[in-house]
Amino acid sequence: MNIKFVLVVLVSCIALSNADCYLNQCAAGLNSACNNDMYNSIRAASASLVGDVVPDGALVTCPSEFYCGINPSYIAGSSNPLLVSPKVCLPLGKGGDVCVQGLVSCVFGLSCYRPSTPAPDLVQGVQATAPATCQALGYAAYGEKCQSTNQCSGDLQCDWEQNICLPDLPNNFEGDCQSNSDCAYGNYCNGTSWCVPKVAIGGNCTDNAVCVDNALCTPIEGQDPQCLEIFSRTANQTCSNSDTSFDFYGVRQGCTGSTYCSNNNCTTLPTPTPASTNCTSNADCVPGFETCYCDGLSNKGTCASLIPSSFDNCATNSKAFYQCAVTNKCSIDVDYTAPFSCIYTHCKSEACAMYSSCNNQYPSANCFTKGESLATLGFCGGGDLNANSANIFNPSILLVLLAFAFVLFFRNI
């Protein structure tokens, strides 16, 4: 995918010291002091970044409808709890809302975008800078409709005559592609710069990119690698080491039946640490599969799983999602969580079921609000994304005027 949004519920404590167990808590809500959220890896190592409001060494995570951003009203040393913290929980932007580049500050499915072309001169030669706003970007694959190049994935350009995304190839280029995104659905760009059909399940392959989207290029003992369906390999069978991570985009791995791919072999998952175990550090838990989650400042805790609670449900829902994408000829190599994408139109329910079942709701970042869950955030929430216009061409004339007024104000003081 070109524009990544990764929920950090799976790794929210890993960046902390491996030697200690830290308090984890959820912030109260809007304008509450924070040093963490469910979308950005911006955790503070101590209370020095959040004032005295947050206990020393604690993770304070914003509820799911907020991100942890710079407090616009911060006053150092203030006795007002709303002003003393440099970072507070701020609302995630919806379509057309102002956002902060460099952070995930828009709801899941939208990206923070600032036009590269400055806003036109308004008055007295002063040029207002167009603000960054939450927009749907990078969701259109080869041949799909567009109004702007920013809506096209990869290096595709929006053809102004046809209003579809097409390759932008150099003059006299010998071939029809420079990358896989330059090819129509079901094709990939081979080593000689020509689009050729992807390999069907059971065919020989060289890497995952040449296989159809619901298959992986899998090593077979004594044979050439083959494109095999995801989640089709069982314990002790060979598998592909690539594409086996669990992130918010779900899972596309070869192994099933509570096994995972390790050293090209489907290996049984390790036995979880007993719930009765009191951990004081990650070293007390299964390395790579669990982390020590604290329930207070007692330096005691429990080992929380970092992987899906049910591999079978994850496998079932992932297979359904990728099969839906194949059936509807929807590319998975775009930002398909954006509204207007092929996946959003045809496979949204399958995608959200995959997100929910393939992500373990790790306790320290399980700060959902208003009944939200992994299956209802942003893209999966229905109507959540487009509270305002998400037109890439008109980020909001009001914001441009406000920016202009800001420039004039400081020009005349």
> Does a structural domain hold residue 242?
yes
Based on the fold, state whether residues 69 and 100 are members of the same structural domain. Answer: no
Q: What confidence tier does 115 reach under pLDDT thresholds 50, 70, 90?
A: confident
Tokens at 229, concatenated: 């369906």
Report the alpha-carbon distance of residue 317 to residue 151 in Å, rounded. Answer: 28
> Does a structural domain hold residue 79?
yes
Q: Which of 50-64, 81-95, 287-301 has the lowest mean pLDDT?
A: 50-64
Q: Identify which has the larger pLDDT, 185 or 56.
A: 185
> Does a structural domain hold residue 178?
yes
Based on the fold, state whether residues 163 and 308 are members of the same structural domain. Answer: yes
Based on the fold, state whether residues 44 and 104 are members of the same structural domain. Answer: no
Alpha-carbon torsion, ordered 133, 355, 259, 294, to 10 deg: 80
Which range, 119-133, 217-231, 307-321, 376-390, has the best average confidence (pLDDT)?
217-231
Based on the fold, state whether residues 324 and 193 are members of the same structural domain. Answer: yes
> Does a structural domain hold residue 3?
no
Based on the fold, state whether residues 24 and 103 are members of the same structural domain. Answer: no
What angle, rounded to 10 degrees, do the helices at 311-327 and 348-357 form? 160
Q: Identify which has the larger pLDDT, 387 or 276.
A: 276
pLDDT for 305 = 80
Q: What confidence tier does 1 reach under pLDDT thresholds 50, 70, 90?
A: very low
196 pLDDT more than 80: yes
3-state secondary structure the chain: CCCCCCCHHHCCCCCCCCCCCCEEEECCCCCCECCECCCCCCCCCCHHHCHHHCCCCCEEECCCCEEEEECCCCCCCCCCCCCCCCEEEEECECCCCECCCCCCCECCCCEEECCCCCCCEEECCEECCCCCEEECCCCECCCCECCCHHHECCCCEEECCCCEEECCCCCCCCCCCCCHHHCCCCEEECCCCCEEECECCCCECCCHHHECCCEEEECCCCCCCEEEECCCECCCCECCCCCCCCECCECCCCECCCEEEECCEEEECCCCCCCCCCECCHHHCCCCCEEEEECCCCCCEEEEECCCCCHHHHHHHHHHHHHHHHHCCCCCCCCCCCCCCHHHHHCHHHHHHHHHHCCCCCHHHCCCCCCCCCCCCHHHCCCCCCCCCCCCCCCCHHHHHHHHHHHHHHHCC
Based on the fold, state whether residues 308 and 248 are members of the same structural domain. Answer: yes
Q: Identify which has the larger pLDDT, 310 or 231.
A: 231
Based on the fold, state whether residues 80 and 38 are members of the same structural domain. Answer: yes
> Does a structural domain hold residue 7?
no
Domain that holds residue 22: 17-91
> Does a structural domain hold residue 9?
no
Based on the fold, state whether residues 162 and 304 are members of the same structural domain. Answer: yes
Total number of domains in the chain: 2
Based on the fold, state whether residues 83 and 151 are members of the same structural domain. Answer: no
Tokens at 157, concatenated: 């350009």
In the chain, the percentage of residues whose pLDDT exceeds 90 is 30
Based on the fold, state whether residues 110 and 67 are members of the same structural domain. Answer: no
Mean pLDDT of all residues in 163-183:
93
Based on the fold, state whether residues 216 and 351 are members of the same structural domain. Answer: yes
Q: What confidence tier does 374 reach under pLDDT thresholds 50, 70, 90?
A: low
Return mean pLDDT, the chain.
Answer: 76
- Whether 88 contacts 104, CB under 8 Å: no
178 pLDDT more than 70: yes
In the chain, the percentage of residues whose pLDDT exceeds 70 is 69
Q: What confidence tier does 109 reach under pLDDT thresholds 50, 70, 90?
A: confident
46 pLDDT more than 70: no
185 pLDDT more than 90: yes
pLDDT in tens, 257-301: 778 888 888 888 889 899 888 887 888 889 888 877 775 555 567
Q: What confidence tier does 162 reach under pLDDT thresholds 50, 70, 90?
A: very high
Rounded to two decimals, what is the model's pTM? Answer: 0.78
> Does a structural domain hold residue 124?
no
pLDDT in tens, 327-373: 999 999 899 888 889 999 999 999 988 888 877 655 544 677 766 77
Based on the fold, state whether residues 240 and 342 are members of the same structural domain. Answer: yes
> Does a structural domain hold residue 8?
no
User: If we measure between CA atoms, which residue out of 19, 70, 83 comes closest to residue 40?
Assistant: 70
